[in-house]
Amino acid sequence: MLGPVLLAASRSDRMRRVVASAPVTRPVVQRFIAGDDLAPALDTVRALTASGLHVTLDHLGEDVTDRATAQATRDAYLKLLETLAGAGLAERAEVSVKLSAFGQALPDGGHDIALENVRPVAELAGEHGTTVTLDMEDHTTVDSTLSVLRELRREHPGTGAVLQSYLFRTEDDARALAVEGSRVRLVKGAYKEPGSVAFQDRREVDRAYVRALRILFEGEGYPMVGSHDPRMIAIAQELAARTGRAPGTYEFQMLYGIRTAEQRRLAEAGERMRVYVPYGADWYGYFMRRLAERPANLAFFLRSFAPGR
Ligand code: FDA
């Protein structure tokens, strides 16, 4: 019940000011965010990769409404990629980007501005032997994001996409993307979507996840299983066995701070396991989506407001 309220709050500027300025918020945020800037995030990447995990880094930010901030996002990613390469981490660390932070939502020509800003990021990633994955945001952005993906894949075929199983359209998108060299992260979906475009019942979302997973594993591309759900992980492993895929021809992905023991267990069992590591000062939207996903996270957050803490 609370999930939709929190998702609505994730886009409220007033709530952003209240939550972001509350001193008690910080320790809870730290569970999910690897720091306000690159230096602590890099320490996290070093620790994760040293323990056999792979990483995708997200410089936090979304819903940018002016060109200068969109360019600043591009510059932050260019700096991130140079830093990863300089530290010898580019082999195990890629980056995830939200096109709304690159200008996609700007009223005049947002799509083209986002493409123009993200292209140099894909180029630099390629030069350093790593990749970019385009996160997927709310359903109004899917066509634009997949079109940017097609453009980038011309020169950088390893550019990754994200598909959300809660959207009715996703099986078709999965079929279109299950092609040689195509990297697709399948997730359940984290935004508040209307019943006209998305399943509302969690069981339906799960069933749709399995259908799309099957398409991706049976296809020619590189499936990236973005889920903490033990059932989805078990099904992915069954599909890998059934389709004769060895570890490394697909991978698992989980978010930083969530089911960390399971992340290690999968890596130790020989699976490729990638951790999505968000960092940066603009953590509010990301943080609220994590609270919305799980009532226990919200309870943990609210307890931190209790007197004496
Ligand atoms: P589900 O929500 O059913 O949870 C299954 C189990 O996982 C829970 O019972 C619990 O044990 C654990 N768990 C799940 N969420 C938790 C949380 N927040 N805190 C603690 N435990 C939790 N979405 C999107 O719309 N666009 C995107 O680009 C991405 N990108 C992305 C990358 C990666 C690497 C991951 C793992 C996820 C995303 N997502 C996303 C988020 C995704 O859509 C979804 O909201 C979350 O992954 C939660 O769904 P699960 O599949 O984990 O299952």
210: domain CATH number is 3.20.20.220
Query: What's the 188 CA to ligand 1 centre distance in angstroms?
Result: 7
Query: What's the 30 CA to ligand 1 centre distance in angstroms?
Result: 17
Is the residue at 183 inside a domain? yes
Amino acid sitting at position 136? M
Write the residue with the smallest CA distance to atom 13 of ligand 1: 228
Query: What is the DSSP-derived secondary structure letter of residue 139?
Result: G
Ligand 1 contact, 189 CB (< 6 A): yes
Confidence of residue 22 (pLDDT cuts 50, 70, 90): low
Query: What is the DSSP-derived secondary structure letter of residue 141?
Result: G
User: What is the predicted pLDDT for the residue at 151?
Assistant: 98
User: Which three-class secondary structure state does DSSP give residue 181?
Assistant: coil
Is the residue at 300 inside a domain? no
pLDDT tens string 159-199: 999 999 999 999 999 999 999 999 999 999 999 999 999 99
Write the residue with the smallest CA distance to atom 35 of ligand 1: 226
Rounded CA separation 130/13 (Å): 35
Is the residue at 25 inside a domain? no
Rounded to 5°, the CA angle 287-291-297 comes to 120
Question: Residue 221 — left, alpha, or beta (φ > 0 → left; ψ -120 to 50 → alpha)?
Answer: beta
pLDDT tens string 226-235: 999 999 999 9
Provide CB contacts within 8 A for 208, sequence distance 6+.
Answer: 165, 166, 170, 171, 199
Provide CB contacts within 8 A for 213, sequence distance 6+.
Answer: 186, 223, 225, 232, 235, 236, 239
The answer to whether 142 and 175 are in contact (CB under 8 A) is no
Rounded CA separation 269/8 (Å): 39
Average pLDDT estimate for 226-255: 97
DSSP per-residue string spanning 79-135: HHHHHHHHTT-TTTEEEEE-GGGGTTT-TTTHHHHHHHHHHHHHHHHHHTT--EEE-
Whether the model clears a pTM of 0.85, i.e. scores above it, the answer is yes
Q: Are strands 54-59 and 273-279 parallel, antiparallel or unpaired?
A: parallel
The answer to whether 160 and 133 are in contact (CB under 8 A) is yes
Is 266 exposed, middle or buried, given 0-12, 13-18 or 19+ CB atoms closer than 10 A?
Answer: buried
For residue 4, is pLDDT > 90? Answer: no
Amino acid sitting at position 258? I
For residue 308, is pLDDT > 50? Answer: no
Domain range for 207 is: 34-282
Is the residue at 302 inside a domain? no
Q: Mean pLDDT for the chain?
A: 92
Nearest to 165 by CA among 134, 203, 131, 133: 203
Give the residue numbers marked as catalytic: 135, 185
Is the residue at 108 inside a domain? yes
User: Which three-class secondary structure state does DSSP give residue 225?
Assistant: strand
For residue 306, is pLDDT > 90? Answer: no
Is the residue at 7 inside a domain? no
Is the residue at 290 inside a domain? no
Number of domains the chain is built from: 1
Ligand 1 contact, 278 CB (< 6 A): no
The answer to whether 253 and 226 are in contact (CB under 8 A) is yes
Ligand 1 contact, 190 CB (< 6 A): yes
User: What is the predicted pLDDT for the residue at 10?
Assistant: 76
User: Which three-class secondary structure state does DSSP give residue 160?
Assistant: strand
The answer to whether 37 and 44 are in contact (CB under 8 A) is no
Place of tokens 């997949």: 146
Rounded CA separation 29/283 (Å): 8
For residue 309, is pLDDT > 50? Answer: no
Place of tokens 């399995």: 210
Write the residue with the smallest CA distance to atom 14 of ligand 1: 228
Is the residue at 115 inside a domain? yes
- Return the percentage of the chain with pLDDT > 90, whole number: 78
Amino acid sitting at position 224? M
pLDDT tens string 119-166: 999 999 999 999 999 999 999 999 999 999 999 999 999 999 999 999
